[in-house]
Amino acid sequence: MKVAKTLGQFIIEKQADHPYAKGELSRLLRDIGIAAKIVNREINKAGLMDNIGEAETMNVQGEQQKKMDIYANEQFISALQSGGECCIVISEENNEYINIEGEISKDAKYIVAIDPLDGSSNIDVNVSVGTIFSVYRRKSPEGKVTPDEILQKGVEQVAAGYLIYGSSTMLVYTTGKGVNGFTLDPSIGEFCLSHPNMRIPEDGIIYSINEGYYTHFPDGVKKYIKYCQVEDKPTSRPYTSRYIGSMIADMHRNIILGGIYIYPVTASAPNGKLRLVYECNPMAFIVEQAGGKASNGYQRILDLEVTELHQRTAIFIGSKNMVEKAEEMMAFFSPQQKKKTFEGDIVIQ
């Protein structure tokens, strides 16, 4: 019988590929895996315990926090703190970055950005949610952390990953050498390698976007949606529309089957809704490592300047050829220099 490799075994094996690595990044990934199991256990009890529904607090973005947003945030921060390899945490749920340097993490080299619970509005209705994380190396090995260490571009990530709490629970991550997926075997409490070397198909037939906001989309996005809906046998159109409302769930499916996920600028989100540091950059790194593409419609996500912790961006991410087609539509129908102000409906011919 074939025995599955556990996440711990896989990490140790990969570390051996880098003879000078001291194992710090491996330990950091292990810490994230531990917190994920605790969060997973709690999510599995949603509805049984008093852990669903709204908390009484708002996050910095003025969004109502769910009880599980707060619980997941605490678990990841606490695991990173006791693990000792991380000095700074940037979280969707905290206004400022958190310095967790202490006795154990005196010389910690890593900065972690995290969306502790992605798609949290889905948790009360038993729909998949996720966690997204991104890892940066400190630029100066010691002393006070500087702003340019906190606001690094996506291209500087050393690792990124996500957890999906779905029909099964999975951890998918990259350290810049491809993407591997691990499924949690609840009977032994271990993540086991189930999806080695994940590759996103270059073409897909799924598009994921909240079409409810259609009238407020830029013309380039409207044209791309129409392109997806037109009958054309050679390119397998019309495509299929799938939108769960948890970016992780939509993206996980699209990585496996091929597809594009779009969250453009809209009237109510003139800079896009999703956050660059802890949602878009990690997903862009993973998708690129799997052979796909991620863009803001004009430019590669990983090259965008980061000026604020909670900065937002539009995102077009997924199968390479689908993202390129959407970018083509954006360049033609919504050239950047026009810089539309999204007030009211946009009329297209």
Q: By the criterion CB under 6 A, which residues form the site for ligand AHG?
A: 92, 115, 118-120, 210, 245-247, 273
* Residue number with CB closer to ligand AHG (15 or 94): 94
Is the preceding peptide bond at 270 cis, omega within 30 degrees of 0?
Answer: no
Measured from the CB atom, the residue of 25 and 284 that comes closer to Mn ion is 284
Q: Which residues, 6+ apart, have CB-to-CB distance to 10 below 8 Å? A: 180, 182, 193
Strand partners, 113: 90, 134
- Please state the closest distance from residue 54 (CB atom) to ligand AHG, in A: 13
* Contacted entry of Mn ion, ligand AHG, none for residue 273, CB cut-off 5 to 8 Å set by kind: ligand AHG
CB of 67 to ligand AHG, least distance (A): 13
Q: Please report, as a single letter, which amino acid is at residue 267.
A: A
Pairing type for strands 179-185 and 129-137 reads unpaired
Q: Closest CB to Mn ion among 31 and 118?
A: 118
Residues that bind Mn ion in the complex, under the rule CB under 5 A: 92, 115, 117-118
Smallest separation, CB 305 to ligand AHG (Å): 22
Residue 25 interface partner, choices Mn ion, ligand AHG, none, CB cut-off 5-8 Å depending on type: none
Q: Quote the CA–CA distance of 106 and 90 in Å, as a whole number.
A: 18
Give 273 or 325: the residue with its C-beta nearer to ligand AHG. 273
CB of 163 to ligand AHG, least distance (A): 13
- Compute the least distance from the CB of residue 167 to Mn ion, in Å: 20
Cβ atoms of 207 and 260 within 8 Å: the answer is yes
Residue of this chain nearest to Mn ion (CB atom): 118
315 Cβ neighbours under 8 A, 6+ residues apart: 261, 262, 263, 272, 274, 280, 283, 284, 294, 295, 296, 301
Q: Which does 254 bind (CB under 5 to 8 A by kind): ligand AHG, Mn ion, none?
A: none
For residue 207, what are the contacts with CB-CB under 8 A and spacing of at least 6?
225, 228, 239, 240, 241, 242, 259, 260, 262, 322
Compare residues 26 and 246 and give the one whose CB is closer to ligand AHG: 246
Closer to ligand AHG by CB, 105 or 266: give it.
Answer: 266
Q: Which amino acid is at 176?
A: G
Cβ at position 21, least distance to ligand AHG in Å? 32
Please check whether residue 216 is in contact with residue 345, taking contact to mean a CB–CB distance below 8 angstroms.
Answer: yes
